[in-house]
Structure 1
Amino acid sequence: MKISFWSVGKSHEPYVLQGIDNFTKRIGKYYPVEWQIIAPPKNSGLLPEAELKKKEGAIVLQLLRPDDYLCVLDERGKPFRSEGLAQFIQQRANESVRQVVFLIGGAYGLDEAVLQKAKHQWSLSQLTFPHQLVRLILAEQVYRACTILRNEKYHHE
């Protein structure tokens, strides 16, 4: 199973890049992993919110393959405890899912068409975080889940 992190927006900012790279490499010991940064549409700053979300959504839907398992990060989603995220990942592996895509939407969230395509909606927190930090938190939490599955000590350090 491959884990893909997709994020709509700019490339990783230097203040989070080192951490994201670190956790991505660590996850790579358990699963093939990659990041895909999805550039916002041209002139996105001039578009109304709904139109921007629709255009971003169209890009995401074009990139998705039919057999991808899409898990979107959305404030209305279901929260996980770390152990629950580990179980979620293990269940996907048990189901022989080829690729799990964790998607972080743009500044205004995700278009309804993407939310409908998602097989799981995950709320990272009730707090609002900058997208750059969400990337780092996501990578760290997936790494933590991998260590839980292997009964390694990271989770309890």
Structure 2
Amino acid sequence: MNITIIAVGKVKERYLRDAIAEYSKRLSRFCKLKIVEVADEKTPEHASEAEELQIKEREGERILSHIKPQQTVIALAIEGKMLTSEQLAQTINDFGLHGHSNIALVIGGSLGLDQRVLKRADMLLSFSRMTFPHQLMRVILLEQIYRAYKINAGEPYHK
């Protein structure tokens, strides 16, 4: 299984980079993981709705340029479907069983994802109705992917 995480912005905090590195190392036994960072746009203090839309469009173009036609795309979006860890494990397993072994998971910037990215997605996934910092979301996503593989392997990590 090939998993690509496409995320807007760089992770600046060392503790988050360390956690990302740790989960990337753990996942290497289960899948081929690639993390792609695309540049984020600076958002003015009191940006208008039109300015925010333009920012999301520019970030969206960068994201879409890294999505391959054969990839199954899961976009993280607050309005997406919420799953349990076991359901996410089953979803990843089902993708593999149905020939979808190249998955891209997309994390937007602070304003969310452009509509074109949401339309390209095969699935919208929500971790909560709450908003999380997009840098922290990478760690949460990697941990849940790792947990999914452990569940699918019948290993006790998820308990």
Q: Which deviations, in whole Å up to 9, do the C-alpha atoms of 1:39-71 show, x marking residues without a partner?
A: 125xx3357100000111111112111101110
Within-5 A mapping of 1:71-90: 71-90=74-93
What is the TM-score with the length of structure 2 in the denominator? 0.92
Q: Which deviations, in whole Å up to 9, do the C-alpha atoms of 1:95-154 show, x marking residues without a partner?
A: 222410111001100011110000000001122211121111000000000000000010
SS for the counterpart of 2:145 is: helix
AA aligned to 1:110 is L
SS for the counterpart of 1:93 is: helix
Residue 105, structure 1, aligned to residue 111, structure 2:
no
Q: Are the counterparts in 1 of residues 79 and 126 from structure 2 also a CA contact under 8 Å?
A: yes
Q: Could you tell me how far apart the structure 2 residues matched to 1:117 and 1:12 are?
A: 29
Q: Are the counterparts in 1 of residues 147 and 158 from structure 2 also a CA contact under 8 Å?
A: yes
SS for the counterpart of 2:65 is: helix
Deviation above 2 Å: which 4+ runs of structure 1?
44-47
Quote the residue 1:52 is aligned against.
55
Residue 120, structure 1, aligned to residue 123, structure 2:
yes
**What's the Cα RMSD here?**
1.3
What is the TM-score with the length of structure 1 in the denominator? 0.93
Residue 65, structure 1, aligned to residue 63, structure 2:
no
Q: Could you tell me how far apart the structure 2 residues matched to 1:53 and 1:10 are?
A: 16
SS for the counterpart of 2:43 is: helix
Mind listing any 5+ residue stretches in structure 2 that lack a counterpart? none
Percent identity, aligned pairs only, is: 36
